[in-house]
Structure 1
Amino acid sequence: FLDEWTAVKNYGGKTLIYGGGAESDIFIAASKFTGAHQPCDTASDDVSLLAFTSGSTGLPKATMHFHRDILTIAETFAKEILQPNETDIFAGSPPIAFTFGLGALVIFPFWAGATSLMLEAAAPPILLKEIATHGVTVLFTAPTAYRAILPLLDETPIPTLRRCVSAGEHLPKSTWEAWHAATGIKIIDGIGATEMLHIFISAADDEIIPGMTGRVVTGFTAKIFDEDFNELPRGEPGLLAVNGPTGCRYLNDARQSNYVKNGWNFTGDIFIQHENDYFQYQSRSDDMIISSGYNVAAPEVENALLTHQAVIESAVVGLPDEERGMIVTAYVVLRPGFIASDELKKELQDHVKSTIVPFKYPRLLHFVETLPKTTTGKLQRFRLKD
Structure 2
Amino acid sequence: MLSPDHADIVRATLPAVIDHGTQITATFYDAMFAAHPELLHLFNQGNQANGEQRQALALAVAAFAQRLTSEGGPASIQLLLSRIAHKHASLGVRPDQYTIVGRHLLEAVGKVLGPAVTPEVHAAWSEVYWLFATLLVAEEARLYHEAACTPEDAFRPWRVAERRPEADDVLTFVLEPTDGQGVPGYRPGQYVSVAVTLPDGLRQPRQYSLSRVPTGDAIQITVRRVRGEDGAPDGAVSTFLHRNVAEGDLVEVSPPFGDLVLDDDSDPLLLISAGIGVTPVAAMIDHLAAGAPDRPVLALHADRSPGTHALRGQITSAARAVPGIRRITWYEQPDGAASTADEEIRTGLMDLDGLSLPDKARVYMCGPIPFMRGIRRELLSAGVSEERIHYEVFGPDLWGQAD
* Coarse TM-score class (shorter-chain normalised): under 0.3
| TM-score calculated relative to the size of structure 1 | 0.26
| TM-score calculated relative to the size of structure 2 | 0.25
Structure having the larger proportion of residues in helix? 2
- Taking CA–CA contacts closer than 8 Å with sequence separation of 6 or more, which of the two structures ends up with the larger relative contact order? 2
